[in-house]
Amino acid sequence: MRINKPSLIFFLLISVLFFNSCAGHKSKRSRTETVIKKARSYTGTPYKWGGTTRSGMDCSGLLLNSFNAINYKIPRTSAEQSKIGKKVAKSDIKPGDLVFFATGKKKRKITHVGLVTEVRGKDNIKFIHASSSVGVTESNLASNYYKKRFRMARRVL
């Protein structure tokens, strides 16, 4: 059987489109939504330093578990997590970005991390994190407490 050139090109184009959009391939947006959904599933989990389970977890443990939902491995601590991905300007923060804070005595040392869940303007950026006082919760980056302690944002997906 002889195949003409235009038919072969059409077949190859359709094949490429099909295999690039197969069910196993998730878009960046879909992966971000999966990570956020997983993080939100831990809402109300109590805080436990070094914890990674529903009985108690810390901020970096929350992100570790959330990114595991898409088989994306990230480091264990917030300080290590602050070194992955690319730095993002505060004005360019998007859902799925990581936000880092210095909550200890040293104003430059990263001690806390959260995952951006919603952006509705520069003064309405919500992030989920494990707070030592209330456990896994969502907060606003514009709140006085977090605004003062914010150090950077990074995009890993």
Catalytic residue from among 112, 117, 130, 131: 112
- Distance, CA of 78 to CA of 98 (rounded, Å): 10
59 carries an active-site annotation: yes
- Distance, CA of 57 to CA of 63 (rounded, Å): 10
What are the two backbone dihedrals, phi and then psi, of residue 26, each rounded to the nearest 5 degrees? -105, 140
Record the tokens describing residue 80, joined without a space: 């290590």
25 carries an active-site annotation: no
Catalytic residue from among 35, 36, 57, 59: 59
DSSP letter, residue 46: P
Residue type, 2: R
Catalytic residue from among 78, 129, 146, 153: 129
Which residues, listed in sequence order, are joined to residue 75 by a DSSP beta bridge? none
- Residues labelled catalytic: 59, 112, 129
